[in-house]
Amino acid sequence: MSNLYSRYFQATLLREKIWFVVGALKSQENLCFDRAIDPENNRFEFFVPEQRVTEFLDCIRLFEEQKMVTHFEELPNRILLQKMMPN
């Protein structure tokens, strides 16, 4: 069942470049879904389809080289974790 769920990443973005990073990622059709998970700290989450992970990571590496992404990590998909948690 986990194949149906996207890979999950979080990143902290340089405030002045948030619009650029998000816009560049959105311009790549179906590359990822992004959302500000902690706007006060410029923290974003990204849901990436398995077949687009390499392309997504290439983009993130470029943003890191330009200091637009200051922290980046892959985490367990929080939606899948919530679904697995008993009520």
Domain ranges of the chain: 2-84
Q: Write out pLDDT tens, residues 30-65.
A: 999 999 999 999 999 999 999 999 999 999 999 999
Q: Which pTM was predicted? A: 0.87
CATH architecture under which domain 2-84 falls: 2-Layer Sandwich (3.30)
Q: Which residues contact 64 (CB under 8 A, 6 or more apart)?
A: 72
Q: Write out pLDDT tens, residues 52-61.
A: 999 999 999 9
Count of residues making up the chain:
87
- Tell the burial category of 63 from Cβ atoms under 10 Å away from its Cβ (0-12, 13-18, 19+): buried
